Amino acid sequence: MSDLFSLTGRTALITGASRGLGWSMAQAMAEAGAHVILNGRYEESLAQKVETIRDSGGSASFSVFDVADETQAVAAVGQISASADGLDILVNNAGIVHRSELKDFETADFTRVLTTNLTSCFYLSRAAHQAMVAKGRGRIINTASILSVVGRSTIPAYAAAKAGLMGLTRSLAAELGPHGITCNGIAPGYFATELNEALVKDQEFNAFVCDRTPLGRWGDVRELGGAAVFLASDAASYVNGHLLVVDGGMIETL
């Protein structure tokens, strides 16, 4: 059974992997045997994370690019795909959030969030799938959100992007499935990441999360790694177009 979850011999690119959920998924995939390529915008932080994985006996490297820059991002994926090991797994995880009341929400901020959280997943997947088709197998995993299916005020761009991401996920699953490529989404609930640091410290919001989550707490970033390994592994070979919710049960109470 353990072989079903092994990623030995696979190469995985994880965007937004220098911290938070991306870093957790990268660590978990490295522990499962994959060579992980960590993406971010800053070389120094990526290099430190790569060393951490290597010090633990894993295999890792990094690729510096901004997912919001299509030319830069597509070129990087092309280089990885053309390498000797190619690309087996793409995790579209990089994301940003902008909070504002609707009356003050600028169109430029809306567009910026959609470009990073949704549009980049389209062109990165488009760039990556060709090498996967040639191999006859592949995994695309998109970091969605419980906001793919529910809404919250002051974050319309984030909610719209995450809802759109599941539409993209299902469309890719339908088109790429015949080539042996699955495409699935992970929908995290509220995790105590750097991105949510201000919310964790907000007593009112913290109480809301803990009260509305049946497990009574925020998620720990380490608790997302297993879901990513599952969807990337042979254990999930017949899972396609699915949204795997990892939220402590919160979505069932909203």
Nearest to 184 by CA among 148, 151, 232, 137: 232
User: Using CA atoms, how far apart are residues 95 and 79, in angstroms rounded to an integer?
Assistant: 23
158 is catalytic: yes
Q: What is the CA radius of gyration of the chain?
A: 17
Nearest to 40 by CA among 85, 95, 98: 95
188, two tokens: 């995290």
Containing 215, the helix (H) or strand (E) segment is none
Q: Where are the alpha helices (DSSP H) in the chain?
A: 20-31, 43-55, 70-82, 107-114, 120-135, 156-176, 197-201, 203-212, 225-232
Q: Which of 123, 158, 190, 238 is catalytic?
A: 158
User: Using CA atoms, how far apart are residues 2 and 54, in angstroms rounded to an integer?
Assistant: 22
Nearest 5°: the CA angle 194, 13, 195 is 10
Report the catalytic residues.
Answer: 158
